[in-house]
Amino acid sequence: MGASGLGSALAKCINLSNLTLDLYYNQIGAMGASGLGSALAKCINLSNLTLELYNNQIGDEGASGLGSALAKCINLSNLTLYLSSFFFFQIGDEGASGLGSALAKCINLSNLTLRLSRNRIGAMGASGLGSALAKCINLSNLTLDLYYNQIGAMGASGLGSALAKCINLSNLKLDLG
């Protein structure tokens, strides 16, 4: 059961609008992250969500799955995701791009904090993440932590070019370390 079971229990809280879950160092894995997201997607009134999932070995599959599930949270306006890895190399290009593509479907998302430091995201992942986030039409505040990845000059350029297309973005904090 684990994280998926916790999510299923929380999904029964029909009036839940604000949720902070601190689950770091719990060996959730890809299935747990995806399952948790799928269960939370049933919280139809959820508008503010903070998930602290760093050091849980969720990898590319878990990041993409979590994003796909959260994309179904139609009222989500404020999202903070901690997906950093102190032991490096958990989420790569596929996971970063997949997470971004899914979050682009969160039509009411206005405030987003993504902490993806100490992973294995390269130029393609950073550019893909930026291109996807540029589709978040209501995004006004973005904090993006990508330090200790392998983004490089090409990735930084691609990310910057993509984020420049965020038409309603008024506040940006970008850490490429």
For 68-83, the pLDDT digits (tens) are 999 999 899 999 999 9
Residue 170 within a domain: yes
Task: Classify residue 55: in a domain, yes or no.
Answer: yes
Decide if 50 is inside a domain.
yes
**Taking Cα atoms as reference points, which of 130, 59, 127 lies closest to residue 88?**
59
CA 17 distance to own-chain centroid: 18
What length does the chain have? 177
Domain of residue 122, residue span: 23-175
Whether residue 4 is contained in a domain is answered as no
User: Is residue 139, in this structure, part of any structural domain at all?
Assistant: yes
Whether 128 is covered by a domain: the verdict is yes
Q: What is the CATH number of the domain that holds 146?
A: 3.80.10.10
pTM for the structure as a whole: 0.93
In sequence order, which residues have a C-beta less than 8 Å from that of residue 164 and are 6 or more positions away? none
Q: Write down the pLDDT at residue 88.
A: 57
Domains in the chain: how many in total?
1
DSSP code, position 78: E
6 domain-assigned: no
The strand order across the sheet containing 18-22 reads 18-22, 48-52, 78-82, 111-115, 141-145, 171-175
**Sequence letter at residue 161:** S
SS3 assignment for 82-144: ECCCCCCCCCCHHHHHHHHHHHCCCCCCCEEEEECCCCCCEHHHHHHHHHHHCCCCCCCEEEE
pLDDT tens digit at each of 177 positions of the chain: 688 888 889 889 989 999 999 998 898 999 999 999 999 999 989 999 999 998 898 999 999 999 999 999 989 999 999 999 877 568 999 999 999 999 999 999 999 999 999 999 999 999 999 999 999 999 999 999 999 999 999 999 999 999 999 999 999 999 998
Whether 158 is covered by a domain: the verdict is yes
